[in-house]
Amino acid sequence: MPMYWFHPADLLLIPAFIIAVWAQAKIGRAYSKYSKIPVSSGLTGYEIAKWILDRENISDVDVESIPGEMTDHYDPQAKKVRLSEEVFYGRSIASVGISAHELGHVLQHFYGYAPMQVRQIIYPISALGSNLSFPLIFIGIILAYMGFQGYWIFVKAGIYAFSLAVAFTIITLPVEFNASRRALKILSDGRLVSQKELAGVKEVLNAAALTYVASAAVAILQLIRLLIIFRNRD
């Protein structure tokens, strides 16, 4: 394996960086805008979450506040919806939309939404793959420079491990889009927001969804880069 300081495949990192920055900027703008606009109902993110849980007769899921910004998530193992303080206590369009989105994940779990079940199954191995992939590739490169003929075993293992992480980002896409659709339907059917407010919620959730699209795109480009760099090395 010859040493190189630059490989043409490294150019793939440029669109990957641009996509990631663009997605973060878009969600940042949408969140900043709609976190300042209150909903006419006056409901907080927490109250929206509890309303949805009561409506669906789900009694074994807790809603709690956690520090940080955009740290909102649903933990299916603990059965807890964790909302950032601004969303938990907030009465804005952004707070209501994000809270409803996380409850969309609760409904996916409760009703056995298949892509979410698949994501839960592959998460442990994909997380392990994400953590091990580049250390394994790095070890392989070092061994190659030392003249160890079996270096490719480590490189290949690293690429396979990273492929698991890529698969996780891809299966995450339908899960996130579906949760947003559920959120919009619940808010609309329950008349918890006006049509104008619903449009704002949709803008926030679409921007948030783009961050997952960007993550998948970046991961795929990185995988393609690795495959190009190490092709014909077996």
Is 56 catalytic? The answer is no
Within 10 A of 67 (CB to CB), how many other CB atoms are there?
7
Short-list 10, 218, 32, CA closest to 130? 218
The residues that bridge with 38 in the sheet, in sequence order, are 92
Cα dihedral 117/118/120/126 (nearest 10): 180
DSSP H or E segment with residue 116: helix 114-145
Per DSSP, 79 falls in state: T
How far is Cα 229 from Cα 158, in angstroms, rounded to an integer? 13
How far is Cα 3 from Cα 143, in angstroms, rounded to an integer? 12
Catalytic residue, chosen from 102, 176, 197, 203, is 102
How far is Cα 118 from Cα 108, in angstroms, rounded to an integer? 12
Residues with a known catalytic role: 102
